Amino acid sequence: MTQTLRPAIAPVTAHRLRARLMWLLVCVIALAAVVAASLALGARDIPLARVFEAFTGTATGETDHLVVLEQRLPRTLVGILVGAALGLAGTLMQGITRNPLADPGLLGVNAGASLFVVLAIATLGVTSPAGYIWFAFAGAAAATVVVYGVAAVGRGGATPVKLALAGMALTAGVTSVLTLVLLTDTTAMSTYRFWAVGSLAGRGAAGTADTLGAVAPFLAVGAVLAFACSRWLNVLSMGDELAHGLGVHVPRARALSMLAAVLLAGSATALAGPIAFVGLVVPHLIRPLTGPDYRWILAYALVLGPTLLLAADVVGRLIAQPGELEAGLVVALLGAPVMIAIVRKAKVAGL
Amino acid sequence: MTAATTIAGSSGPDTAGAATDSPGVQVIAAVDRHRRRRTLAVLTVLTGLVLTVAWASLSWGGQAGAVLDYAATLAGGGEGSGDFRIGTLRLPRLLLGGLVGIAFGIAGALFQSVLGNSLASPDILGVSGGGSLAAAFAIIVLGLSGPVVGLAAFLGAATVAAAIYLLAWRSGVAGYRFVLIGVGIAFAINAGIGYLLTRSDVTDVRSALVWMVGSIGTPRWPQVFTLAVIVAALIPLAVIACQGLRALQLGDELAGGLGVRVEPARLLTLGVAVALAAGATAFAGPVAFVAFVSAPIARRLLPGGGLAIGASALVGALVVLGAELVSQHLIPSLELPVGIITGAVGAPYLLWLLATSDAREGSV
The answer to whether residues A130 and A211 touch, using CB atoms and an 8 Å cutoff, is yes
pLDDT > 70: percent of chain A: 88
Q: CA of A168: how far to CAs of A119, A151, A350, in Å?
A: 21, 12, 21
CA A135, chain centre distance (Å): 18
pLDDT band at A12 (very low <50, low <70, confident <90, very high): low
Helices (H), chain B: 2-10, 23-59, 64-75, 91-115, 126-136, 147-168, 175-198, 202-213, 221-248, 252-257, 262-284, 290-301, 309-329, 338-356
Q: Does A319 touch chain B (CB under 8 A)?
A: no
Angle between helices A294-319 and A73-97 (to 10 degrees): 140
Instruction: Please state the φ and ψ torsions of residue B331, each to the nearest 5 degrees.
Output: -115, 110
Q: Determine the residue of chain A that is closest to B293 in CA distance.
A: A169
Nearest to residue B282, comparing CAs of B206, B223, B218?
A: B223
Q: Enumerate the residues of chain B whose CB falls inside 8 A of the CB of residue A328.
A: 191, 194
Q: CA of A315: how far to CAs of A68, A74, A202, A325, B195, in Å?
A: 17, 17, 17, 8, 15
C-alpha span between A257 and A163 (Å, rounded): 13
Where are chain A's structural domains?
77-348
End-to-end Cα distance, chain B:
29
Query: What residues 274-313 of chain A have any CB closer than 8 A to a CB of chain B?
Result: 276-277, 280-281, 284
Helices (H), chain A: 2-5, 14-40, 48-56, 62-66, 73-97, 109-119, 129-153, 160-184, 186-197, 204-236, 240-245, 250-272, 278-290, 294-319, 327-345
CB atoms A154 and B354 under 8 Å: yes
Residue B294 identity (one-letter amino acid): S
Q: Enumerate the residues of chain A whose CB falls inside 8 A of the CB of residue B358.
A: 154-156
Task: Count Cβ atoms within 10 A of the Cβ of residue B334 and give its class: 0-12 exposed, 13-18 middle, 19 or more buried.
Answer: exposed
Q: Determine the residue of chain A that is closest to B357 in CA distance.
A: A154
Rg (CA), chain A: 21
The answer to whether residues B295 and B316 touch, using CB atoms and an 8 Å cutoff, is no
Is the peptide bond prior to A322 cis by the omega test (within 30 degrees of 0)? Answer: yes
CB atoms A193 and B187 under 8 Å: no
Per-residue DSSP letters for B78-128? S-STTIIIIIIIIHHHHHHHHHHHHHHHHHHHHHHHHHT-TT-STTTSHHH
The answer to whether residues A272 and A82 touch, using CB atoms and an 8 Å cutoff, is yes
pLDDT > 70: percent of chain B: 89
Report the range out of A206-220, A247-261, B249-263 with the highest average pLDDT.
Answer: A247-261
Query: What residues 150-209 of chain A have any CB closer than 8 A to a CB of chain B?
Result: 150-151, 153-157, 159, 161-162, 164-166, 168-170, 172-177, 179-180, 182-184, 186, 189-190, 193-194, 196-197
C-alpha span between A110 and B174 (Å, rounded): 30
Instruction: Please state the φ and ψ torsions of residue B334, each to the nearest 5 degrees.
Output: -130, 125
pTM over 0.80: no
pLDDT band at B101 (very low <50, low <70, confident <90, very high): very high
C-alpha span between B232 and B236 (Å, rounded): 7
Query: What residues 200-259 of chain A have any CB closer than 8 A to a CB of chain B?
Result: none
CATH architecture of the domain covering A77-348: Orthogonal Bundle (1.10)
Partners of residue B331 on adjacent β-strands: B334
The answer to whether residues B258 and B245 touch, using CB atoms and an 8 Å cutoff, is no
B292: alpha, beta or left? (left if phi > 0; alpha if psi -120 to 50) = alpha
How far B175 CA sits from the closest chain A CA (Å)?
A: 11
pLDDT > 90: percent of chain A: 11
Q: Enumerate the residues of chain A whose CB falls inside 8 A of the CB of residue B315.
A: none
C-alpha span between B255 and B264 (Å, rounded): 12
How far A6 CA sits from the closest chain B CA (Å)?
A: 28
| Per-residue confidence (pLDDT) for residue A87, from 0 to 100 | 93
| Per-residue confidence (pLDDT) for residue A114, from 0 to 100 | 86
Query: What residues 175-204 of chain B have any CB closer than 8 A to a CB of chain A?
Result: 176-177, 179-181, 183-185, 187-188, 190-192, 194-195, 197-198, 202
Q: Measured between CB atoms, which of B119, B179, B361 is closest to A168?
A: B119
Nearest to residue B185, comparing CAs of B211, B204, B157?
A: B157
C-alpha span between A318 and B104 (Å, rounded): 41
Query: What residues 322-341 of chain B have any CB closer than 8 A to a CB of chain A?
Result: 334, 336-337, 339-341
For chain B, the average pLDDT equals 81
C-alpha span between B217 and B207 (Å, rounded): 13
Q: Determine the residue of chain B that is closest to A176 in CA distance.
A: B340
Query: String of b and e for B80-93 (b: at least 16 CB within 10 Å)?
Result: ebbeebbbeebbbb
pLDDT band at A1 (very low <50, low <70, confident <90, very high): very low
pLDDT band at B51 (very low <50, low <70, confident <90, very high): very high
C-alpha span between A312 and B144 (Å, rounded): 33
| Per-residue confidence (pLDDT) for residue A59, from 0 to 100 | 57
Per-residue DSSP letters for A251-266? HHHHHHHHHHHHHHHH
C-alpha span between B17 and B21 (Å, rounded): 9
Least confident of A270-274, B24-28, B60-64, B160-164: B60-64
CB atoms A154 and B202 under 8 Å: no
Q: Measured between CB atoms, which of A157, A183, A329 is closest to B210?
A: A183
| Per-residue confidence (pLDDT) for residue B305, from 0 to 100 | 59
| Per-residue confidence (pLDDT) for residue A7, from 0 to 100 | 47
Task: Count Cβ atoms within 10 A of the Cβ of residue A108 and give its class: 0-12 exposed, 13-18 middle, 19 or more buried.
Answer: buried
Least confident of B104-113, B280-289, B312-321, B349-358: B349-358
ipTM over the 0.85 cut-off: no
pLDDT in tens, A319-329: 877 778 888 88
C-alpha span between A110 and A256 (Å, rounded): 20
Q: Enumerate the residues of chain A whose CB falls inside 8 A of the CB of residue B296.
A: 165
CB atoms A197 and B194 under 8 Å: yes
Q: Determine the residue of chain A that is closest to B126 in CA distance.
A: A336
Q: Determine the residue of chain B that is closest to A152 in CA distance.
A: B355
C-alpha span between B318 and B42 (Å, rounded): 13
Rg (CA), chain B: 23
C-alpha span between B99 and A261 (Å, rounded): 40
pLDDT in tens, A160-214: 777 777 887 888 788 888 888 888 888 788 778 877 777 777 655 666 777 788 7
C-alpha span between B269 and B267 (Å, rounded): 5
| Per-residue confidence (pLDDT) for residue A83, from 0 to 100 | 93
Nearest to residue B360, comparing CAs of B290, B295, B303?
A: B303
A239: alpha, beta or left? (left if phi > 0; alpha if psi -120 to 50) = left
pLDDT in tens, A14-26: 777 888 888 889 8
The answer to whether residues A351 and A234 touch, using CB atoms and an 8 Å cutoff, is no
pLDDT band at A8 (very low <50, low <70, confident <90, very high): very low
